[in-house]
Amino acid sequence: MSGEHPSFREFRKRLVAREHLMGTFVKTPTTHATEILGSIGFDFVVFDQEHAPLDAGALDMMILAARASNVAGIVRVPEASPSMIQTVLDCGAAGVLVPHVTNAELASKIVGACRYRAGSRGFANTTRAGGFGATSFGAHKDAQDSEIVCVAMIEDIEALDHIDEIVRVEGLDAIFIGRGDLTAALDAPSMVSAETMAVAGPIMAAAKKADMPVIMLCPNRADARKMAGLGASAFMVASDHGFMRQAALAALDEFKPPLD
């Protein structure tokens, strides 16, 4: 990876500035995938505690791998629990992605759990995030409050009734529109279907009106271009095991018999 790649510590600033950012989900409990993704220049990875078997020990090492390979390690926590958010941030995560945010009150709760000075995050600087005590009280608060990313997942039909209030919650850095859950709730055929986009479109419009950054999971470049036109600036594609499956299928196809 080029030494010119921005530091993972700048991820929040880059997200808010609407830089073009690329990320993926990491679901396997190993450091290797994260190291590879960081080495080739991904801007961020999302460690998926909601849908993958990532225990505290594995996640701790994966966060360390993200920092070592200069990729922002965001954790999708399984729920809006302040204690879970505090633990992953103390371990050195660059931020959190919180699922099923359906109203402004819940959005404010997760923002508070991420912030020291304007929130209620429990203090500890004797952690990886605080340099194991090397960072002073004030410096640690300042650094964490300026660097930590707080992202809300909008993936429930219920959230549409409150989206204008959610995207205006002070301290919320971005929303991630969960088209997978929305598609399932609508019983639509795919996350790029007209039915799903009829719901996702107004969410993106509300975010654009409130000047709120949007992160989207996109299946291909054409969809990413469409989402960029609607206001998305950060994009996720596939996952570590998705990449492995795609490469494995391609290898099987390339070497299928006959070889003569």
- Which residues are catalytically annotated? 51
Output the six-digit token pair for 128.
């990886």
Angle at 222 between CA 27 and CA 11, to 5 degrees: 50
Alpha-carbon span 24 to 37, nearest angstrom: 9
Alpha-carbon span 215 to 22, nearest angstrom: 10
Angle at 9 between CA 216 and CA 41, to 5 degrees: 60
SS (H, E, C) 68-136: HCCCEEEEECCCCCHHHHHHHHHCCCCEEEECCCCCHHHHHHHHHHHCCCCCCCCCCCCCCCCHHHCCC
Which among 101, 219, 120 is positioned nearest to 160, based on CA atoms? Answer: 101
Alpha-carbon span 228 to 5, nearest angstrom: 22
Report CA 124 to chain centroid distance, whole Å.
Answer: 24
Match 């959190």 to its residue by tokens.
96
3-state secondary structure of 25: strand
